[in-house]
Structure 1
């Protein structure tokens, strides 16, 4: 009978520890995912900005040497990521593939222009800077027109600003929720041992002596929960990097180290603080209050 009761108590204890570890792991995983999103927001925004194309259309009178000089000059400019020459023949082929029929058979000639497609570095993709670049290029005698999707650039910059703001807000909210959830799990775990705490106190044990084993145990659970969360984050990061290799999510090891280190330290810190205050609460209760 005594052995059966002892086994029941062990199973109950293991179940209690498992629920604490699971809640810590899940909450820290969500918080870590938000952290990864936060540190990669600029990288994702930069990726989309660098897809914006500025088309520099050239006059028919433009000489080959002038075109080559312009392309080389653009390729070395600080604001240009890439500059690709597109002949009007290549543009016609591309257009034919897109619409599914040869428009030159209908028109009898190729109305398209030779052009240089420019992709800018992300830091220079703003309405003001692109307008300045377009004006400088239009001033060249052999450039007929500079074209780009101005509404798209405006929309992209507005959305990037909004995204950054809302991610910061969400980070604050999720951090607060994470603290509450982990704190609740640990408090429930300690609640089941409130009579043990009061008994130890009644036989003369000091508050620090009573707290110590609870703090050590829950810090260990916090470490295990953090490690589980970090393992899940590593799996998520690997999957996203395989799915979206162009984002180079594994490129910045230092930022990733900060996120993973933050998850690990948060697990320990929240476990310590929650355990300290939870045990203090039950230590300060009267014996008759333990039943409520």
Structure 2
């Protein structure tokens, strides 16, 4: 009777350890996913700050200016536009530098411009040149200025960062799967003699596997819900720190991650339990001691 009780305690202890371990691994996966979403939001924000300037001709008729604005508004690639008059440009220069160019030059050296910001998917040199080409041909446009070197440099840096993050995420995902698989394997290892006994009395493989897979999926669900609760607390706290964080990772993004964590917990623990149970189903009595 004491031996049986000790057996039960060992099994409960193994299941509890398994649940806690899976929770920590799923929590790590959730944090990685949220960081990936935040990085993607920052990347999109940086890309949407790229664009070009439309330098307008001096004394441009209002009708020409309106036509240029309408063309920009109609373009699906343009995220926003801002008209800056020559007077506003001069005032900005004086505010930033403290120099009064009108006193020095006796003439305003700035031209009126329209600052264009493109959507993130068009934030590259080739796309910007295609977008600006029909605008450049319009009456009243003096020139188009594109910060080509800056755009290429930023895109190269973002591609390198994305490659590094993808490689790190893939590695951590593999490590997480291995850790969960080993954790589930240890939990089933504690009940290997139960599997062997059921096999001896003639139970089918499917009958033996079912309770082990079910219990481990339940463990995965509990672990995933615990990980989601911790992640929700982290996201809620992060939102109180900065509005930038709340924009980068909103609750819609977080809910998707919570759902993915739950599905991952079910799939990984269920799959690990299936293969671990099969191992002991194929083992003889002597293998139980290894």
| Same fold at TM > 0.5 | yes
Describe the SS at the equivalent of 2:117.
Answer: strand
Structural RMSD (CA) = 3.5
1:69 positional shift:
3.4
Equivalent residues of 1:71, 1:84 under 8 A apart = no
Structure 2 Cα separation of the partners of residues 221 and 166 of structure 1: 33
Task: Specify the alignment match of 1:175 in structure 2.
Answer: 173
Q: 5+ residue gaps in structure 2?
A: none
Go from structure 1 to structure 2 and tell me whether the alpha carbon gap of 1:18 and 1:71 turns closer, same or farther (over 3 Å shift).
same
Task: Specify the alignment match of 2:53 in structure 1.
Answer: 55
Structure 2 Cα separation of the partners of residues 191 and 248 of structure 1: 40
1:114 positional shift:
1.6
1:289 positional shift:
3.0
Structure 2 Cα separation of the partners of residues 250 and 68 of structure 1: 40
1:40 positional shift:
7.2
Structure 2 Cα separation of the partners of residues 77 and 23 of structure 1: 52
Aligned residues between the structures: 286
Task: Specify the alignment match of 1:102 in structure 2.
Answer: 99
State how 1:1-292 maps to structure 2 within 5 Å. 2=2, 6=5, 12-35=10-33, 44-99=42-97, 101-104=98-101, 107-109=104-106, 110-237=108-235, 239=238, 242-247=243-248, 249-250=250-251, 257=256, 259-292=257-290
1:190 positional shift:
1.8
Q: 5+ residue gaps in structure 1?
A: none
1:243 positional shift:
3.2
TM-score between the two structures when normalised by the length of structure 2: 0.79
Q: Deviations over 1:189-223 (max 9, x none)?
A: 12223334334444555444433332222111011
1:129 positional shift:
2.4
Equivalent residues of 1:40, 1:249 under 8 A apart = no
Q: Deviations over 1:153-175 (max 9, x none)?
A: 21333344445555554454333
Q: Deviations over 1:198-256 (max 9, x none)?
A: 34444555444433332222111011112223334444555369433544745679xx5
Describe the SS at the equivalent of 2:93.
Answer: helix
Structure 2 Cα separation of the partners of residues 246 and 147 of structure 1: 31
